[in-house]
Amino acid sequence: MTTVDRAAPPDAIRDILAAAAAPGVLSLAGGLPAPDSFPLTELVTVLDEVMSSAAAAALQYGPVEGVPAMRAGLAARAGETGGHTDPDRVLVTSGSQQGLALTTNALVAPGDTVALEDPGYLGAVRVFRQAGADLLAVPGDEDGMDTEALAGRLRRGARCRLVYVVPHFHNPTAAVLTEERRRHLAELAGHYGFLIVEDDPYADLAFDGVRLPSIDAFSDRVIRLLSLSKTLCPGFRVAGLVAPPALIGPLTTAKQDADLQTNTFGQHVVSRLLSRPGFLPRHLLRLQSLYRTRAGHLAGLLGGLGWVTFRAPRGGLFFWAAITTAGVDAATLTAAAIEEGLAIVPGPPFCIDRDGSRHLRLSFATLSPSEMPEAVRRLELARARVSGPRGAAAAG
């Protein structure tokens, strides 16, 4: 088996996910959508339509900003869930991670301060650090970022270029930012002049189907990152961002310098799929049922272990679990789990100031309910391996 560094630096996540791909390894690690969630029947129909009626355009270069139909589709979707958006405020990106990178490259200089929840999405933490930003860690709870804590830091003189939030089913904690805190964050942006980067890939995966409004319903200082990877499929790498009009030009220039344009063929396929009458509501109901069932099944199994605690998620893809066994840390447990044929993710790489050494991020998305008992059995074997005399010494 592949082993991982017990210190669990950020690059350890890459090693863990590589190990997860090995034959026989079960994975509770990656934030990958379930393959059986992909709308294969509809995709086959749309692929045929694109190749029969628009092949020349779909296989050619396209505009830097994105294919008009894709920009219009993203604008319509954004308007359904937040403030009104015109297509000319939309930039199509190669995944929402590129939207985050373009925003950071265009707007953040070394020494600028970026505030984000602690723990935070690892991909954002890495992008901001690589840009030379100073990270302002803001605590959070089950209601998302503590905007009162942020306000206190601002009153005491902190100044932010950006505030980054994952408002629905936060990665890794699964928290949901309340509407009250969304409004408060919008007020703070207007008062202190920072921009809000709202990264929202999981909003459509609410188990009860309830989606709170985007923060751009309350502020014109919001850059929304729109992902389709979790709701459709990640392979097309088609996503988008919505930005204030004055920022679209600089972001488009950054996009042109990065890769000229997003996958034209994927844009034609995805835009047609989203425009099919009734498709998206039906598809989202199926996703919500699928993930609600899997989350409930894994929660029942984990609850029987007796040495992890967690809040049952209300949507998204993750549990944020705390280890209660004395002498067992997340990095050591992760290494032992790989040796048992199970991939999990330790907490420290997600953390900025707080101690994540006794936390795990576990994904319920990709394993079927029939595979989960074996995954949890391997997790218990890993815990037994490291909580014995030699394991406790290594953890200490």
- Per-residue pLDDT of the chain (396 residues), as tens digits, is 333 333 445 565 677 667 777 889 999 998 899 999 999 999 999 999 999 999 999 999 999 999 999 999 999 999 999 999 999 999 999 999 999 999 999 999 999 999 999 999 999 999 999 999 999 999 999 999 999 999 999 999 999 999 999 999 999 999 999 999 999 999 999 999 999 999 999 999 999 999 999 999 999 999 999 999 999 999 999 999 999 999 999 999 999 999 999 999 999 999 999 999 999 999 999 999 999 999 999 999 999 999 999 999 999 999 999 999 988 999 999 999 999 999 999 999 999 999 999 999 999 999 999 999 999 999 999 999 998 654 443 433
CA-to-CA dists, residue 239 to 49, 272, 312, 366, angstroms: 21, 14, 29, 22
pLDDT computed for residue 219 by the predictor: 97
Peptide bond into 23 cis (omega under 30): no
CA-to-CA dists, residue 358 to 8, 18, 38, 328, angstroms: 12, 23, 34, 7
Closest residue by Cα to residue 287 from 45, 103, 48, 39 = 39
pLDDT computed for residue 12 by the predictor: 58
- Give the DSSP H/E element, type plus range, for residue 359: strand 359-363
Strand partners, 165: 198
Residues 6+ apart with CB under 8 A from 373: 301
pLDDT computed for residue 7 by the predictor: 40
Closest residue by Cα to residue 385 from 338, 348, 343 = 338
For residues 128 and 92, give the distance between their C-alpha atoms in angstroms, rounded to a whole number: 21
pLDDT computed for residue 387 by the predictor: 85
User: Of how many residues is the chain composed?
Assistant: 396
CA-to-CA dists, residue 288 to 37, 53, 130, 203, 314, angstroms: 10, 33, 35, 11, 10
Tokens 């999981």: give the residue.
202
CA-to-CA dists, residue 248 to 91, 109, 243, 334, angstroms: 7, 18, 6, 42
pLDDT computed for residue 13 by the predictor: 63
Tokens for 249, please give them.
Answer: 């030009």
Burial of 79 per CB tally in 10 Å (0-12, 13-18, 19+): middle
Task: Classify each residue of 285-322 as buried b or exposed e, where b means 16 or more C-beta atoms within 10 Å of its C-beta.
Answer: eebbebbbebbebbbebbeeeebbebeebbbbbbbbbe
pLDDT computed for residue 389 by the predictor: 52
The DSSP secondary-structure symbol of 330 reads: H
Is 19 in contact with 337 (CB distance < 8 Å)?
A: no
Residue 282 has phi, psi (to 5 degrees) of -65, -45
Strand partners, 323: 308
Burial of 43 per CB tally in 10 Å (0-12, 13-18, 19+): middle
Tokens 């690892």: give the residue.
122
